[in-house]
Amino acid sequence: MIAYYRALLLLVFLFVTGCQSLAPRATGDLGLVIERATGSVQIIDTSDRRALARIEGLGDLSHASVVYSRDERYAYVFGRDGGLSKVDMLLQRIDRRIIQSGNSIGGAISQDGALIAVSNYEPGGVKIFNAQTLELVADIPAIGANGKRSKVVGLVDAPQKRFVFSLYEADEIWVADMSQPDDPDITRYRDVGKQPYDALISGEGRYYIAGLFGEDGLALLDLWQPQLGVKRILGDYGRGEEKLPVYKMPHLEGWAMAGDYALVPAVGGHEVLVIDRSNWKLVRRIAVHSQPVFVMASPDQHYVWVNFAHPDNDTIQVIDVASLEVIDTLKPGPAVLHMEFTPRGHEVWVSVRDANRVRVYDAYTRREITSLEMSSPSGIFLTNRAHRIGL
């Protein structure tokens, strides 16, 4: 009888201790930080401002991005080496993982959360997977009008179960309607401009805008009126000016719509370009510290935080959208790669790769609150992205 109680006690003890880390909790204040050199991620808690767990074995994360399931439980991590990993934020482990191509640049989740699309460099194209099982649903080779297979960039999700993406070598934008998941209906737009290198979609999912590396300007597609085709905007902002060498490609997906404006990094210039969203005309060119990489608006759209390309990447500047002026310059340390606002925008989390730290700033006083040790941190992705189009 005593032995029975002992065994029972042991069971209760094991149950209690074994489940401690799995106590009921929600994921709304969680996120992932990419540790790019070690192929790992850390789960962070932005309420307690601490790291909860490190998850290893995610492959080459030199250019990685993350999207979240609708319930904010699962993170889908896209790795450079074509790895697609589904990470369980609650059980703090890899749920599923596949190698889906030779070389990948990022991905998106469909509006209904059912499909994961991955944009590939090698072989160029988009592959679409069942979000639960990671089974292949559709394979879309990106063969442009030039007959060549192209790298795919700027892949985003759009309303009505569509994915929009650009073909880097073929100068095209494609819209894939996934209403019939295993039979994508693709609309192709040709000659959109030279070498689209990245893209963003506005928060309501209406405007898809691709940046062009091979010429000045951007390519704009209005998804409410797709029959009007792709328009070139800002085609003359840098005309006649000598381009500076670009040591890191600017990123457009950082949600840079603020107030009446869209703010985008100039390619090869030390400027942030301000576009009036009512007519897509250039309003202003804001001189900044160096070449911008991310131009990210705060959730209240009052401020825009900008980081910069190598070798001037120890700096962040903050633009006040009301005055369109740079109002602050921060020096977080060597190689500031990414910034992420907390969901309602009271803090900014900043990865400083070569300091092996993620710094947490008050978004308004811009004072550092704390910092966390991370190994070569790059992208920071919070779970609230689950409820935003195009992130």
Partner 1 sequence: MFAITTTGWSAESITDRRAAELRHLVMQDCGSCHGLTLKGGLGPALTPAALGDKPKDAMLATVLHGRPGTPMPPWSNLLSREEARWIIELLYRGVDE
Residue ranges in contact with partner 1 by CB under 8 A: 36-37, 60-63, 80-81, 103, 105, 121-122, 151, 168, 197, 213-214, 245-249, 310-311, 335, 353-354, 376
CB of 248 to partner 1, least distance (A): 6
| Integer angstrom CA distances of residue 189 from 38, 170, 231, 236 | 39, 10, 10, 22
User: Which CB, 319 or 352, lies closer to partner 1?
Assistant: 352
Let me know: does 241 contact 269? Beta carbons within 8 Å: yes
Tokens of 26: 């929600």
User: Which CB, 118 or 138, lies closer to partner 1?
Assistant: 118
CB of 125 to partner 1, least distance (A): 16
User: Which CB, 31 or 250, lies closer to partner 1?
Assistant: 250
User: Which CB, 353 or 359, lies closer to partner 1?
Assistant: 353
Total Cβ atoms within 10 A of residue 242: 7
User: Which CB, 250 or 343, lies closer to partner 1?
Assistant: 250
CB of 9 to partner 1, least distance (A): 50
CB of 59 to partner 1, least distance (A): 9
Task: Tell me how far apart the alpha carbons of residues 197 and 218 are, in angstroms, rounded to a whole number.
Answer: 10
CB of 329 to partner 1, least distance (A): 22
Let me know: does 73 contact 27? Beta carbons within 8 Å: yes
Cis peptide before 184 (omega within 30 of 0): no
CB of 18 to partner 1, least distance (A): 36
Provide CB contacts within 8 A for 23, sequence distance 6+.
none
CA 347 to chain centre: 18
CB of 34 to partner 1, least distance (A): 11
User: Which CB, 106 or 184, lies closer to partner 1?
Assistant: 106
Closest CA to 64 of 109, 104, 108, 102: 104
Task: Tell me how far apart the alpha carbons of residues 131 and 119 are, in angstroms, rounded to a whole number.
Answer: 15
DSSP state letter for 132? T
Task: Tell me how far apart the alpha carbons of residues 378 and 260 are, in angstroms, rounded to a whole number.
Answer: 30
Task: Tell me how far apart the alpha carbons of residues 113 and 200 are, in angstroms, rounded to a whole number.
Answer: 19
CB of 244 to partner 1, least distance (A): 9
User: Which CB, 65 or 383, lies closer to partner 1?
Assistant: 65
Query: Greatest CA separation found in the chain?
Result: 92
Let me know: does 27 contact 90? Beta carbons within 8 Å: yes
Encode burial over 43-59: b for 16+ CB neighbours within 10 A, e otherwise. bbebeebeeeeebeebb
User: Which CB, 62 or 92, lies closer to partner 1?
Assistant: 62
Closest CA to 258 of 207, 319, 217: 319
Instruction: Please report which residue ranges of the chain form alpha helices under DSSP H.
Output: 2-18
User: Which CB, 231 or 248, lies closer to partner 1?
Assistant: 248
- Specify the length of the chain in residues: 391
CB of 337 to partner 1, least distance (A): 9
Which helix H or strand E contains 89, and what residues bound it?
Answer: none
Q: Rounded to 5 degrees, what are φ and ψ at 15?
A: -60, -45
CB of 305 to partner 1, least distance (A): 20
User: Which CB, 205 or 238, lies closer to partner 1?
Assistant: 238
